[in-house]
Amino acid sequence: MLDMGQDRPIDGSGAPGADDTRVEVQPPAQWVLDLIEASPIASVVSDPRLADNPLIAINQAFTDLTGYSEEECVGRNCRFLAGSGTEPWLTDKIRQGVREHKPVLVEILNYKKDGTPFRNAVLVAPIYDDDDELLYFLGSQVEVDDDQPNMGMARRERAAEMLKTLSPRQLEVTTLVASGLRNKEVAARLGLSEKTVKMHRGLVMEKLNLKTSADLVRIAVEAGI
């Protein structure tokens, strides 16, 4: 993932520490950490209300994938994953999704801390508060093997098949969760109680064998909803 902030130039070096612009951030609330901590998928959360949309949380899977520690990431825009081979048209697609507050999924060339390039299936999705105001962006990354050029399509097909197992109500809840809404707003949109929404979310997570809300959002976006 990269450049979830303003339309600033990308450093392009792909070297560790490139574009070390950093802002001070406050520790996020526990519910924000809960979005990503247990996920086996590399995931981050950024705060668009702060200058340059810096990362405020990353999980261990992100460190394992990229080689960057939490201390090296928090307070920085995720553009440090960009490098000389990063496709600018895909960067623009991510920026457009951020500007329009819409989920976006692209496969883009990124770089690990040691300079190793990798094909990255990047998801960026908004997260709203109960008053429908933008709070954060959720980002997740999956390394795509160059020897498996159809891996992205295979993931999309798998995600679509997984969602076919859901009931119509569960699919409605999943669709609204994937759009970034929290339980209160989902309940209001569907005319349900928050308790019922939480029940449906729990059933969906159990049925799809998912650990975190970040994983649920990723599956939904990969499936095209």
Is residue 79 marked as binding? yes
Is residue 110 marked as binding? yes
Alpha helices, H only, 56-193: 60-66, 70-73, 88-100, 151-163, 168-178, 183-190
Based on the fold, state whether residues 100 and 187 are members of the same structural domain: no
Is residue 158 marked as binding? no
Asked if the structure places residue 6 within a domain, the reply is: no
DSSP code of 19?
A: S
Domain's final residue, options 116, 145, 174? 145
Asked if the structure places residue 55 within a domain, the reply is: yes
CATH number at residue 42: 3.30.450.20
Host domain of residue 196: 153-223
Based on the fold, state whether residues 56 and 111 are members of the same structural domain: yes
Asked if the structure places residue 16 within a domain, the reply is: no
Q: For the residues 78-96, what does the mean pLDDT come to?
A: 91
- Please tell me the distance from the alpha carbon of residue 13 to that of residue 62, in angstroms, as a whole number: 20
Q: Please tell me the predicted confidence (pLDDT) of residue 167.
A: 96
Is residue 96 marked as binding? no
For residue 148, what pLDDT band results from cuts at 50, 70 and 90?
low
- The residues with which 119 forms a beta bridge, in sequence order, are 109, 144
- Please tell me the distance from the alpha carbon of residue 85 to that of residue 124, in angstroms, as a whole number: 20
Is residue 209 marked as binding? no
Given a cut of 60, is residue 126 above it in pLDDT? yes
Q: Please tell me the predicted confidence (pLDDT) of residue 190.
A: 95
Q: Tell me the chain's radius of gyration from C-alpha atoms.
A: 17
Residue the block writes with tokens 């994937």: 178
Q: Please tell me the predicted confidence (pLDDT) of residue 9.
A: 36
Q: Please tell me the predicted confidence (pLDDT) of residue 8.
A: 41
Q: For the residues 73-92, what does the mean pLDDT come to?
A: 93
Q: For the residues 161-172, what does the mean pLDDT come to?
A: 96
Domain's final residue, options 94, 117, 145? 145
Based on the fold, state whether residues 54 and 115 are members of the same structural domain: yes
Which residues does 23 contact at the CB level (< 8 Å), separation at least 6? Answer: 50, 51, 52, 54, 75
- For 116, half-sphere exposure in the C-beta direction (CA atoms, 13 angstrom radius) is 10
> pLDDT (tens digit, 9 = 90+) per residue, 27-44?
899 999 999 999 999 999
